[in-house]
A and B are shown apart, each in its own frame.
Chain A
Amino acid sequence: MADALTLADVERIATLAHLELTAEEKTLFARQLTDILAYARQVQSVDTSGVPATAHVHGTGPVERDDEPRGSLPIDDVLANAPDGAPEAGLFRVPRVIG
């Protein structure tokens, strides 16, 4: 039987993932993630000694384009989606970070 995830495990992962979870979500995810990981653990029974990892399935690797300068999206168009844009300055506003 796989080790069960504790609430502390769930809180640690949620912090890494920048997620604030409710108490109910923490309890639910502890159970569900335990079940899913117990199932996923079957990959550990496969003999993979000497087998390289596959991270991507491109035939020949990434395709490069010519290094030609080109325009970017208009700043006003991009800032139109910002939850707190400052179009006059061309910036995104966020809560103060430094003192």
Chain B
Amino acid sequence: MLLDAGAVAIRNAVAAGEVTATAVCEMALERAARLNPGLNAFNHIDADHALRQAAAVDDRRRRGEPAGPLAGVPVAVKDNLCVRGMRTTASSRILERFVPPYDATAVARLDAAGAVLIGKTNCDEFAMGSSNENSAFGAARNPWNPAHTPGGSSGGSAAVVAARCVPVSLGSDTGGSIRQPAAFCGVVGLKPTYGRVSRYGLLAFASSLDQVGPFASNVTDAALALSVLAGPDPMDATCAHEPVPDLLPTLGDGIVGLRVGVPRAFVSEGVDPDVRAAFDATLDILRDAGATLVDVELPHARYAIPVYYLVATAEASSNLARYDGVRFGHRADPSAAGTLREMYFRTRDEGFGAEVKRRIMLGTYVLSAGYYDAFYLKAQQVRTLLRRDYEEAFARVDVVAMPTTPTPPFLLGEKADDPLQMYLADIFTVSANLVGLPAISLPCGFSREQLPIGVQLTGRRFDEATLLRAGRTLETRTSWHAATPPVA
């Protein structure tokens, strides 16, 4: 089936006139409608919007206009990215009826490339979570086993690619929210360099950490998606002017001579045996392909979780101050709300879920008088030390390899009542956000319970090309990426 063949194959078939974008769109809508009741991976499937976009692609082709790089490719985007005229909720009650009057830049670029947007995917509320259980609309489920989490926060975007409803989707990654669900669902997930992709129209969680990026069922499709998304945007002052290389031609160049750093001390503790075995086997494959393994030290990586949760919650407490019931979103019943101030308080109490409140509280605390220096400032200083760790490592190596997650996908409910335990599961992913480097998660095996395991490669600033080339090399020597879950 064409949907399983990936974005490049679909684009080529549509461009050659072998199939219409409308026919592909109908296949994707059918599969999404069939699988979503079990997966809860879409917050919203918009058949009318998708069929309109597909018809426009077909019209352009009939008129002989050039096909875009994603012509006719069905896609889904995380429900924290604004789509003009399409409900965008961030999986929060406070935005349950919010319909954006503009497109996020990433969404506009997909549209300009000819992609066909099927719908908005489920996520943890405001992207705060590692299991999707913080969604106001119920958790998405792992296509490999619905008792397990698909990961978070972009769990829906990972699940819909794993289930082959769409070949490409978008997520956002503040502390691992693309890479961890990619690992848990057995797909490719790429967090680009901070500033590589515009954040305009991404509902802000932690502005110094947030980055938009793609999920795909293979590395080539991820490279194609990034090439569409990347590049400067006048609407985002943090979006870099760095030139975007053509990522596809170098994918097959191999990794002879690539220096792969392995922080042995950091990855030796608390890693599940199945994850360790898959990681070690991946290192062997990289070495067999011509890479050199080099031990590196990241002495401050052990502080990455506390630094991350201090910095991210501080930024979130400021960013989420805008949800006050005045200009958009939920407003508490005015007859009960009383004064303006009481309206703010009740609106936010009714609109936000427990984890969002917890993080706003934590962030407010660490920014408050008497605690700012001891927590927030201190965390920012340790963030500098972590950056220096990575600078030293990248003086000697080209990429750093770690497991994406310490364990295979955990059970839904397993950590739901213990926020600290949930935070600790992000140990290998948060550093890349704190230091702004690109990182990719690639499928690298399965646990004894037949649940996916991912390996993470982190690269130099704006060097996504090397990550993708290494990922493509792994794909040619393994077949993990080609495995599909029983439901698909």
- Chain B residue with Cβ nearest A51: B381
Give a binary string over A58-99; 1 marks a CB under 8 Å from any B CB, 0 the rest: 110011111000000110011011111000000010111100
Distance from B346 Cβ to chain A, minimum over Cβ atoms (Å): 6
A42 to B378, CA, bound (A): 10
* A17 in complex: contacting residue of B354, B364, B380, B385, CB < 8 Å: B364
B303–A54 touching, CB < 8 Å = no
A35–B461 touching, CB < 8 Å = no
Distance from A90 Cβ to chain B, minimum over Cβ atoms (Å): 13
Give a binary string over B126-170; 1 marks a CB under 8 Å from any A CB, 0 the rest: 000000000000000000000000000000000000000000000
Distance from B101 Cβ to chain A, minimum over Cβ atoms (Å): 4
Q: Give the interface residue-count category, chain A.
A: 35 or more
* B365 in complex: contacting residue of A13, A28, A78, A80, CB < 8 Å: A13
Chain A contact residues: helix, strand, loop or mixed: loop
A63–B382 touching, CB < 8 Å = no
Q: Which residues of A contact B237 (CB under 8 A)?
A: 62-65
* B360 in complex: contacting residue of A17, A83, A95, CB < 8 Å: A17
A43–B378 touching, CB < 8 Å = yes
B331–A57 touching, CB < 8 Å = no
Q: Which of B42-50, B53-61, B178-186, B321-329 contacts A (4 or more CB under 8 A)?
A: B321-329
Give a binary string over B290-318; 1 marks a CB under 8 Å from any A CB, 0 the rest: 00000000001001011101100000010
CB contacts under 8 Å to A, within B436-473, are 436, 461
CB contacts under 8 Å to A, within B216-237, are 232, 234, 237
* A80 in complex: contacting residue of B99, B349, B434, B435, CB < 8 Å: B99
Q: Which residues of B contact A53 (CB under 8 A)?
A: 377, 380-381, 383-384
B101–A33 touching, CB < 8 Å = no
Q: Which residues of B contact A41 (CB under 8 A)?
A: 306
A10 to B329, CA, bound (A): 26
Q: Which residues of B contact A94 (CB under 8 A)?
A: 326, 340, 343
- Chain A residue with Cβ nearest B386: A54
A20 to B350, CA, bound (A): 9
Distance from A41 Cβ to chain B, minimum over Cβ atoms (Å): 8
A22 to B345, CA, bound (A): 12
A10 to B349, CA, bound (A): 14
Q: Which residues of A contact B195 (CB under 8 A)?
A: 58-59
B327–A43 touching, CB < 8 Å = no
- Chain A residue with Cβ nearest B209: A57
Q: Which residues of B contact A21 (CB under 8 A)?
A: 349, 357
Give a binary string over B390-402; 1 marks a CB under 8 Å from any A CB, 0 the rest: 0000000000000
Distance from A30 Cβ to chain B, minimum over Cβ atoms (Å): 10
* A82 in complex: contacting residue of B234, B238, B327, B365, CB < 8 Å: B327
B303–A42 touching, CB < 8 Å = yes
A97 to B330, CA, bound (A): 20
With A63-B238, A82-B328 known to touch, is A51 a contact of B99 (CB < 8 Å)?
no
Give a binary string over A1-22; 1 marks a CB under 8 Å from any B CB, 0 the rest: 0000000001001101111111
A56 to B307, CA, bound (A): 13
Pairs A-B, 6 closest by C-beta atoms: A57-B436, A83-B331, A53-B380, A48-B381, A81-B328, A77-B101
